[in-house]
Amino acid sequence: MILGIFVVLCCKAQQIYSLKTDYTEIRQNSYLKDLNNELDSFIGTWQGSFNGNLITLFITKESHKFFNENQYKYYKDILSIKYIVKNSSGIVLQNTQSMTFQANQLTHTIYSQWPEDNGNSILLYYGGTNCSVGWGSIKLKKNSTIQVSWEYRPNDIILDDSKCPQGTDISIYLPETKDLIFTKQ
């Protein structure tokens, strides 16, 4: 009897894999864990400027975050980035810092996908803003313990009134550039 319970519990135990594992090749409800603490050095508040705008990134680590992507359900340790973009007059152009994201929300979210270059860089997915404008990839690369470089590549999207109501702000406020330096605060 006790052996039977032990076998059932062992079979139901969550499988743990490294962050670099492809989630499409694992069992349902498995856990992609930051086994080597590759995400930790990116955590913190970072500032940079681009075209007269001041950008502040607030990078946190979320452990065991649940993802439900079509037929794939899994847990993963991720970096989550919220941000504030201000113009040269100090006026806030965009602020996601106080936003609360719902389960499976992509709009306004920036989540890490996986570490690269032996943990020296991290690839992230940006869900875009209103009407998914600006969705794409971001890469952060460690230059030192206090500086990272930023590369943002937004993807194209065709908008019309059926996809995005007229008058909706469809500006991309994040810096669309490569090698922008952010300094840890």
pLDDT at 8 over 70: no
Q: Residue 158: which of 175, 142, 170, 140 has the closest Cα?
A: 170
Q: Report CA 142 to chain centroid distance, whole Å.
A: 16
pLDDT digits (tens, 9 = 90+) for 60-114: 999 999 998 889 999 999 999 999 999 999 999 999 998 888 766 778 899 999 9
Q: What pLDDT, on the 0 to 100 scale, is given for residue 7?
A: 43
Q: Distances in Å between the alpha carbon of 167 and those of 74, 129, 161, 164?
A: 37, 14, 10, 9
Q: What is the mean pLDDT of residues 168-185?
A: 94
Look at residue 15 and tell me if it is in a domain: no
pLDDT-above-70 percentage for the chain: 92
State the total domains in the chain: 1
pLDDT of 16 higher than 90:
yes
Residue 25 lies in a domain: no
| Burial state string for 27-59 with b = 16 or more CB within 10 A and e = fewer than 16 | eeebbbbbeeebbeebeeebebebeebebbbbb
Q: Which domain holds residue 149?
A: 32-184
Residue 136 has pLDDT above 60, yes or no: yes
Q: For residue 7, is it within any domain?
A: no
